[in-house]
Structure 1
Amino acid sequence: MTETGTVPHDPADDRAAAPRRRPGGRSSRVRAAVTAATFDLLDEVGYDRMQLTDVAARAGVNKSTVYRRWSTKADLVADLFIELAEAEAPTPDTGSLARDLEELLREAVALLKRKRIRSVLGALISQTDDGSLARARSVFWADRVGRSSAIVARAVERGELPPDTDGDRFMHAVFGPVYLRLVVFGEDVDDDYLRALSRMGALTGDAVPWTTRDRREEPS
């Protein structure tokens, strides 16, 4: 203590009082930088020409950091794609099958119209022989259709669809035209198209072979 009765300032006190960086903070920053770099390069040069060394350089991190987390570019893109699936919006619950389908399709279109999302989708669709990307496609579709199948379950409870409706088949049939037009053909879809598609799915749900009974009767 000094002659004035005050305690001398110790710089260590400032260090102790400063907020500590959370564990994994650097890891989160690296992932964010690599994610942004990957999206940019997929958009600029495409999947075939993109290299992990280019991703590291664009992200401003050491290439060994990238290779330690993702041994191949397929692993990297697949990881990002699965992350996209987990970030999907909640499944709508409006009390009507037609309105649920319309909202769900509108959300899907908004997602697919994002340039970076379509870049990743393009990579996964074009590389049919890569095991990592194939697994990512399976995870994405299973997650997407699985969440959306809740709409079918609620519609069955309300009596809008038969009890043995196969949720996976039903949602594949509803999503298929939108993904085909936007991702494969590069055509736009408007609200009228989405409204018509959702109403068609709701009206014909009990007239199309989308039932668990039909799946059980398929030859092995």
Structure 2
Amino acid sequence: MAATESKHRARPAPIAVAVAFSAATLGVGYWALGLATMLIFTAGFIGGLLLWLVWPSGGGWADVRVPYWIALSLFVIHRVEEKQMEFFAFLATVTGVPTPAVTSVPVVLLVVISAGAWLLGPVLMRCGHPFGRYLAWTFFASMGLTELAHFLIFPWVNPAGVGYVPGMWSVVALAPVAWWGMWRLARQPSYASAVRRGAGRT
């Protein structure tokens, strides 16, 4: 079974799909929010792709489901903080790119692609599909790396001076949970995860 799974992971088709998906996401991000914001997205989607290629196997859904759902819940809180504190107005001021309407085609596509992918990831991981691991890596990398821009980038380009940036406080909880998820994805799978994978292939 292990040899079969290894061959399945080594096939170029899932890698090609992952590369195309990452490129499409960044393209839509550029369309919606401009070059500067797209480059920040790179940490999540290109970083997640590279992490998946480095650790194509490891912890399965049974290992990451707790940090995954906690991080997803914290991300919802993070988006609420951003909305309430007008993060996208701040982003438009910093980048010079006007805030697009939430119903505009690029914004809707960006939400569908990212949210859809991160909800599909658990389903594919439960089935043992390698693309599910890629989606999990992009999710955790986006939460644990991209969101650090609220501390590492945005405060230093804030026209009002170094200080609070909309969405900053929720990242304090979100990022460490995402790091926990990445650690569990990279480590050896637990017995429960291995059993689940075996059941998914029968």
- Report if TM-score (shorter chain) is over 0.5: no
Which structure is richer in relative contact order (CA contacts within 8 A, separation 6 or more)? 2
Q: Which has the larger Rg?
A: 1
Q: Under a length normalisation based on structure 1, what TM-score does the superposition of the two structures give?
A: 0.29
Say which structure is richer in helix. Answer: 2
> TM (normalized to structure 2)?
0.31
